[in-house]
Every structure is written in structure tokens, then in C-alpha cells.
Amino acid sequence: MSLLKSNSITSVPPVDDSGAVTTVKRGPVAVPSTEKIIWAIGGGKGGIGKTLLTSNLAVFLSWLHKKVIVVDMDLGGANLHTSLGINNPTQTLSDLLYNRVEDANDLIQPTSFKNLSLISGAHDPTGIANMPHVQKTKLGRKFRELDADFILLDLGAGTTHNTLDFFLMADKKIIVVTPEPTSIENAYRFIKAAFYRMLRASTPTPYVRQLIEQAMDQKNARGISTPKDLLKEVIRLSPSEGELLKSKMDSFRFSLIVNQVRTSAESKIGTSVQIVCERYFGMHVDYVGFIPYDNCVWQSIRKRVPFLIESPNSTAVTHLESVLRNLLKN
């Protein structure tokens, strides 16, 4: 079935509303025209749907006539290729990282979807678990040189430096969370780690870096327990450094998707996370929507076909469209 007409989604399947979750608005999706954009999809916890959402958002974007490359940055557990129905990737990021391949374009593999290609994750995670910073910068530069409109990075679980740095490198930082307390806990841990790592990387001043490091330790002797405390302390020592730090803090924002929602109460978790982040970190969060828990989603994984293709009339797809529309808005 055709979901598309030119650059907008004009025909979306009717909502199969179970009553448990609310419906979403439908209409054309405006897509920015020429800019190359890197999106990173992370969230701290494993099994929450990062890979699934990366692959389905990528297929959706490719349907909107955008040239899309998905990159499997789950260096310890690459499986993005499987969710796109690809068996054994011939070349992976390992080949680039170990200089067996010079040009990242040589790693690109076609998928069965027009406009959508894949760069598979590393096959040898042990050697690149702690990638030197210079290597990460080089990789980021190579991603920007790729011939694509959108590059989507599927991140692994956890808060390793690799994962945080690729998250921070993206133009659009997307965090996936599920309503489970463990997922919410890990999401906050991920947000905090990414936020302080960004601040630390952006200041050249040793004593400010030191204060940021102390702030990351909850039991620090200075009693800095929130970013606001940190800012106060830096301003006390140097108002100009404080100004710089504040502008960095203000620049940090991310988009939030709640996945595997089963009740309308669970869909509100996005707003709660948004409020907590704004109050605690003073950061801006775009809550772009939720995806319901839907049997068609896990069933599609078994078939190794994106649920967008397998179940285009599902509620999950309707919500995915709304999420994509919001992601493209800002």
C-alpha cells in the first residue's frame, strides 16, 4: 500500500484504537530538504526498542524520498542488520577502524528498501571497546562525509564513553525509554552521564573540569548535587567561566520517545521525564510521542521485517508516524 505522495504522508492506515492508548493527529509530514542530519538513538537500557525504532524510522524516512544510512553503533551486540532482514554483513565498522577500508562509503550495504543502506556494527568489539577519542572524531567526520540525507546511529545499551560520545556527536539526540522503572532509572543515568560528559568536553579550564568531575560523583565533598549547584560554584569562582558553562548547559536538548506503552497512564511518563529533566538539569526535552506495546511489533522481529512493512495498519505505525513528524519538526 502507498503511504506516500511526494514528500508527505497522505494516506495513513486507520487507527485501530484499543482504547488503552490515545490516538494521534494525522496529516502531511514536512521533511527538511537538503541538510545532512545525524540522529542518534540511545537510552541506557537494553531491550527497550532502540534498534527496532532506528530501523523503522529509517525505512519511514526512506519512503519520504530521503537517502538514509543506518549505522549499527552497538559495538558489543550489533544486530541492526537482522532487523532489516540482512544475514551476514560482509564488511563492518571493524574494517574501517582497523584500516582495512579507507573510505566509509565502502562499508555501505544496500538493503531491500530503496534509499536505505546499512553500515553494520563491528565484529570485533573487544578491540574497540575503549576507542581513543581521536578515532571517534575521525569516525564522526567520516559519517558526515557519507552520501546521505539522514544518518541514523543505533546505539548500544549502557553508558560507556563510546556510546555517550556518539550520542553527543549527533545533531538530534533521541532517548528511548519504556514505562518500566528500570528503564526510567537507566534513562536518567544515561541523560546525566551524557550531560556532564558534554560539559566536561566543552571546557578547557582545568578547575572547571575538576568541578564537573566532582559533580558527577554524588557523594562529592563540595556538596554539589545538581547542575544548578555546579553552576553556582563555578560562578562564585569565575563569573565568566560560569557564563560559558551556562550557555553550554542551555544548549543541551534531546528528544524523548516512550516505547512499549500499554495504558494511557504509561503514555504520560514522557511528560514526567520531561518535567524532571527541566527542573533538575534545566534542560529542554522534546517529548515526541510514544509507541504502544503491540504484538505486531515483536512478531515482525521474528520475521526480520520492519513492522512498518509487516503491519502498516497497526496502531504502532500510526504512532510511529506521529513520532517521526515531531522529530522532523524541530
Ligand X SMILES: Nc1ncnc2c1ncn2[C@@H]1O[C@H](COP(=O)(O)OP(=O)(O)OP(=O)(O)O)[C@@H](O)[C@H]1O
Q: Contact positions toward ligand X, by CB under 6 A?
A: 46-52, 74, 77, 156-157, 259-260, 291, 293-294, 297-298, 301, 316
Partner from ligand X, Mg ion, none contacting 157, C-beta within 5 to 8 A by type: ligand X
Q: What is the DSSP string of 180-218?
A: SHHHHHHHHHHHHHHHHHHHHHH---HHHHHHHHHHHST
Cα distance between residue 179 and residue 97, in whole Å: 36
C-alpha distances in Å from residue 159, one per residue of 30, 100, 199, 228: 33, 28, 16, 23
Buried b (16+ CB within 10 A) or exposed e, 244-283: bbeebbeebebbbbbbbbeeeebbbbbeebbeebeebbbb
Residue (117 or 311) nearer to ligand X, CB: 311
Paired strand residues for 233: none
Partner from ligand X, Mg ion, none contacting 110, C-beta within 5 to 8 A by type: none
Residue (242 or 292) nearer to ligand X, CB: 292
For the CB of residue 295, give the shortest distance to ligand X in the complex, in Å: 7
Residue (97 or 301) nearer to ligand X, CB: 301
Residue (53 or 194) nearer to Mg ion, CB: 53
For the CB of residue 58, give the shortest distance to ligand X in the complex, in Å: 13
Cα distance between residue 26 and residue 14, in whole Å: 10
For the CB of residue 297, give the shortest distance to ligand X in the complex, in Å: 3
Structure-block grid coordinates of residue 156: 548500544
Residue (52 or 245) nearer to ligand X, CB: 52
Partner from Mg ion, ligand X, none contacting 48, C-beta within 5 to 8 A by type: ligand X
For the CB of residue 125, give the shortest distance to Mg ion in the complex, in Å: 13
Contact present, 191 and 273 (Cβ < 8 Å): no
**Smallest Cα–Cα separation from 201: which of 251, 238, 266, 262?**
251
With CB atoms as reference, the residue minimizing the distance to Mg ion is 51
Residue (164 or 234) nearer to ligand X, CB: 164
Partner from ligand X, Mg ion, none contacting 164, C-beta within 5 to 8 A by type: none
Partner from ligand X, Mg ion, none contacting 294, C-beta within 5 to 8 A by type: ligand X
Helix (H, G, I), strand (E, B) or coil at 168: helix
Cα distance between residue 65 and residue 134, in whole Å: 34
CA geometry: angle 139, 141, 142, nearest 5 deg: 65
Measured N-to-C along each axis, helices 269-280 and 181-202 cross at an angle, to the nearest 10 degrees, of: 30
Residue (266 or 294) nearer to ligand X, CB: 294
For the CB of residue 204, give the shortest distance to ligand X in the complex, in Å: 34
Structure-block grid coordinates of residue 186: 537507566
For the CB of residue 35, give the shortest distance to Mg ion in the complex, in Å: 26
Binding site for Mg ion (CB under 5 A): 50-51
Partner from Mg ion, ligand X, none contacting 44, C-beta within 5 to 8 A by type: none
Residue (50 or 319) nearer to Mg ion, CB: 50
Partner from ligand X, Mg ion, none contacting 140, C-beta within 5 to 8 A by type: none
For the CB of residue 73, give the shortest distance to ligand X in the complex, in Å: 10
Partner from ligand X, Mg ion, none contacting 113, C-beta within 5 to 8 A by type: none
Gap between the terminal Cα atoms of the chain:
29
**Within a 10 A sphere around the Cβ of 129, how many other Cβ atoms?**
13
For the CB of residue 82, give the shortest distance to Mg ion in the complex, in Å: 10
